[in-house]
Every structure is written in C-alpha cells, then in structure tokens.
Amino acid sequence: MNRLLMILAAVFTVHSAAVAADPAPQPETASLPVPTIAVLPFDSRGARAQDENLGKSIAELLSVELATQGDFELVERAELDKILTELHLSATGLVDKETQLKLGQLTGAKILITGSVFRSGDNNYVVAKLIGVETGKVLPAAAKGDSAATDLVSELAVKVAGQLTARSRQLMPKSKTALSVAGELSGTVKGNGRKVYVKIAESISAPAIDPAAETELKKLLIALGFEVVEDRQDAEFLFLGEGLATDSGRYQNFSSSTARLELNLYKGKQILLSDRQKETVAGPSYVIAAKDALARSSLELARRMLPALK
C-alpha cells in the first residue's frame, strides 16, 4: 500500500510540474487602437497676447518634441490645418464637444492637445490639456520658468509624454463591435425586415479575402433586424462606399495601419447622408491592422448614420 501511495504521489508531482510548465493557451493577440494625437495651437494670453504666432509656435515645437518622446501617432500639421479650414474653425478654443468629435472623425485623432501660454509675475507658464475626443476626459500638464515660453516646451513635452504613456487609455474610447453598436442603437433603430444593399470597395495594398468594412456593416444591419440583399434592385436602402488603408509603420511591437472610409446612404436615387471616418489601428500584422481599421471606421460611420433609418 505504501509503495502504491508513493507511486501515485510521484505521478501527481510530475503532472503538476508539467501543468505549471505548460500554461493555459493564451488568446490570439488582438489589434488595438493607436492613440493618434492632434496638437492644436495654444491660446496666447496676458502680456504676450499681441504675439499671434506664439501659440502656433508652441504647438509646432511640442509636436516635434513628442515625436521623439514615445510611441505616438501625430496628425500632420498640414493635414490638421486643412481640416480646420474645411470646418471653418479657428485652431484655438475648441471647447465645443461636437466640434472636437468632428475634428477627431476627420483627422483620426483620439486625443487633442490644446492649452494656453501666459506670463504671471516673473514666470512664463505653458499649460496643456489632453482631451479624449470621444470620452471627454481631460489630463493636465504644465511647465513654468523665467525663460522664454518656447524654451519651456521641452519640459512640457516630457510631462505630456509621461501622461500619455501612463494614462492615455483613460482618454481612449472603448472598442466597439457590431453587437455592441447594435445594442446601442436597438432602442431607436428597427430593421423590421427592410431590405438593404451594401457595397464598399476596399484597398489595403495587400491581398485580402473578405471586405472588412462591408462585412462589419452587414453584421450590424442583420443584428438590428434588416434584411441584407445581394441585388441592389431589391433594396429600399443602399450603403455605397470606398475605403483605403495604408501602412502607418510600427507601434510598440505591432504593425499599424490608417484607414479612411467614405460612406453614402441612399434611398433609391436620393442620397440621405454622406460621411467619412479615419481610424489608426495596430495589430500583429499589417493586413490584420488594415482590416480592423476599416472595420472600426465602418462601425463608427454606421453608428452615426443608421439613426436616419429609424
């Protein structure tokens, strides 16, 4: 009996060691949104208010510093200026939530950095606000000193980069799926078997079997009770669009891709809505990142456009 117990104990020990050495299988690495950042010109106040270019200089210097501080995707200055012109907006004082959302949709930015520069007593102050475009949450960062305001940007950049590295996920929106968006819209949007045709042309500069944006939109429509048809002649509504994904380099240990998707909603020949979305996503491969960026863009557009069909 003692011999049998010793054998069983030995077997149990070996089995336990094998389990410990062979951990449970891990889920496949998922893609994640890249914290894309748009740095807006700072508001120059107080004694330096006459210097209209100071706030713009602070933003440009901060952008350069952040590019060397960490793994951040920055909206290019020329693109940001173009979008601001398109929206007929001044780059300072963007406090309106709707304006922030629109700027984020068009540039792909998930975090806006804005702020002010002023002098008080013997010191200059450069104060930044890191704003989550979709969450509305704000993180602060500031630098002060008796040197010129532009000389304080390096110190400010270190503090901003620290906040982004440690807490950027607090500013980022939660990832959406077709089911989560369907749950969000189900109270107001009812498919009731209405027929919808979906066609989204996609280009990701690499072979792809299935159209990610189109597939995600179809899943959402079916979840909401619409009937997705293959012949556009049978449909009451049509979603027609075009998506393009490009390589955005490396983010941490992942490949990243930026996708831009334009989508039009028709009822017969009448166009009901037209919108566009930009998303940057990182994943274990470029193809996965590109397809997920297109899928996320599709869901964001659908979330805004589908209430027109309620």
Please give the domain boundaries of the chain with CATH numbers for all domains: 32-171 (3.40.50.10070), 178-309 (3.30.160.150)
Q: Quote the CA–CA distance of 266 and 8 in Å, as a whole number.
A: 71
Q: State the pLDDT at residue 29.
A: 46
Q: State the pLDDT at residue 6.
A: 45
* 207 pLDDT higher than 70: no
Lowest mean pLDDT among 28-32, 108-112, 212-216, 232-236: 28-32
* 11 pLDDT higher than 60: no
Q: State the pLDDT at residue 209.
A: 64
Distances (CA, A) of 299 to 182, 204, 217: 10, 18, 7
Share of the chain above pLDDT 90, in %: 60
Q: Quote the CA–CA distance of 56 and 69 in Å, as a whole number.
A: 20
Torsion of Cα atoms, 212 then 215 then 221 then 227, to 10°? 160
Cβ(285)–Cβ(255) under 8 Å? Answer: yes
- Three-state DSSP at 291 gives helix
What tokens does 192 get? Answer: 């009731």
What's the whole-number mean pLDDT along residues 117-143? Answer: 93
DSSP classification of residue 152:
G
Q: State the pLDDT at residue 17.
A: 41
> Would you place residue 10 in the very low, low, confident or very high pLDDT band (cuts 50, 70, 90)?
very low
Lowest mean pLDDT among 14-18, 197-201, 300-304, 306-310: 14-18
Closest listed residue to residue 135, CA positions, set 92, 89, 94, 104: 104
Closest listed residue to residue 89, CA positions, set 111, 104, 70: 104
> Would you place residue 98 in the very low, low, confident or very high pLDDT band (cuts 50, 70, 90)?
confident
* 266 pLDDT higher than 80: yes
> Would you place residue 89 in the very low, low, confident or very high pLDDT band (cuts 50, 70, 90)?
low
For residue 47, what are the contacts with CB-CB under 8 A and spacing of at least 6? 118, 119
Cβ(221)–Cβ(191) under 8 Å? Answer: yes
Q: State the pLDDT at residue 85.
A: 81
Q: State the pLDDT at residue 45.
A: 80
Instruction: Report the phi/psi class of residue 80: left, alpha or beta, with left for phi > 0 and alpha for psi in -120 to 50.
Output: alpha
What's the whole-number mean pLDDT along residues 68-72? Answer: 77
pLDDT tens digit sequence for 220-246: 999 999 999 999 999 999 999 999 999
Sign of torsion over alpha carbons 184, 187, 193, 194: negative
**Parallel, antiparallel, or unpaired for β 237-251 and 270-283?**
unpaired
What's the whole-number mean pLDDT along residues 24-35? Answer: 58
Mean pLDDT across the chain: 85
* 279 pLDDT higher than 50: yes
H/E run at residue 163: helix 153-171
* 177 pLDDT higher than 80: yes
